[in-house]
Amino acid sequence: MISAGEFRNGLTVEIDGIVYQIIDFQHVKPGKGAAFVRTKLKDIKNGGVTEKTFRPTEKFPPAHIDRSEMQYLYRDGDLFYFMNVETYDQIAMNKEAVGDSLKFIKENEMVKMLSHNGAVFAIEPPLFVELEVTDTEPGFKGDTATGATKPATVETGATVHVPLFVNQGDIISIDTRTGEYMKRV
């Protein structure tokens, strides 16, 4: 059991049957009255964020989150198929469960599946991916305004804002957390 006084960012706990990840916490000691812990909690199943306060002595069971490496195989309509490369077990997830997490992921890439009690609730793509630019307007010589960007479509179909010197056919590195261009490879 974890007391509210031991809360840390990133910790997962079960409160009233719902698994939450602690996004932010603050120990408050008012001049008058008892101390309390103000928290910002994210429901790991639906992504909703709530704010709650607890007494520092309240205790909650820790929630164990399993992270397993799986290979993204292919998409068939609204279903996405993944395979465990050690056991060759395959699972299918619908479009709503996957969300935008595979926006920059090509087929046969490895991703992390996050699950609680055997139920997969999220997909973590690699932090950085390298993709080929399939469509963008050409940059012109002398067009070097500081910080100027243009939209570019990468091989997965996602759109990224890139500097003017990036051309069609270039391989670029993208941060999957923010969707931002990092560098030309």
Map out the domains of the chain as residue ranges.
Answer: 2-60, 66-124, 128-184
- 74: how many CB neighbours lie within 10 A of its CB? 11
Cα–Cα distance for residue pair 170/135, rounded to 1 Å = 10
Per-residue pLDDT of the chain (185 residues; tens, 9 = 90+): 888 888 888 788 988 888 888 888 999 898 888 899 999 998 887 778 899 999 989 999 988 888 889 999 998 888 999 998 899 888 888 887 787 888 888 888 999 988 888 778 778 888 899 999 999 888 666 656 667 888 999 998 889 998 888 888 899 999 888 888 988 88
Annotate 88-104 with b (16+ C-beta within 10 A) or e (fewer). eeeeebeeeebeebbbb
Cα–Cα distance for residue pair 135/119, rounded to 1 Å = 38
Q: Which of 132, 177, 125, 175 is nearest to 152 (CA)?
A: 132
How many residues comprise the chain? 185
User: Given this model, what pLDDT does residue 71 score?
Assistant: 92
User: Pairing state of beta strands 128-136 and 79-83?
Assistant: unpaired
Report, at the CATH architecture level, how domain 2-60 is classified: Roll (2.30)
CATH 1.20.1630.10 matches 128-184 = no
User: Given this model, what pLDDT does residue 82 score?
Assistant: 92
Report whether 32 contacts 40 (CB < 8 A): no
Report, at the CATH architecture level, how domain 66-124 is classified: Beta Barrel (2.40)
Question: What's 64's DSSP letter?
Answer: P
User: Given this model, what pLDDT does residue 17 score?
Assistant: 84
Annotate 134-168 with b (16+ C-beta within 10 A) or e (fewer). eebeebeeeeeeeeeebebebebebebebbbebee
- 32: how many CB neighbours lie within 10 A of its CB? 4
Report whether 174 contacts 185 (CB < 8 A): no
Q: Do 2-60 and 128-184 come out as alike in CATH topology?
A: no
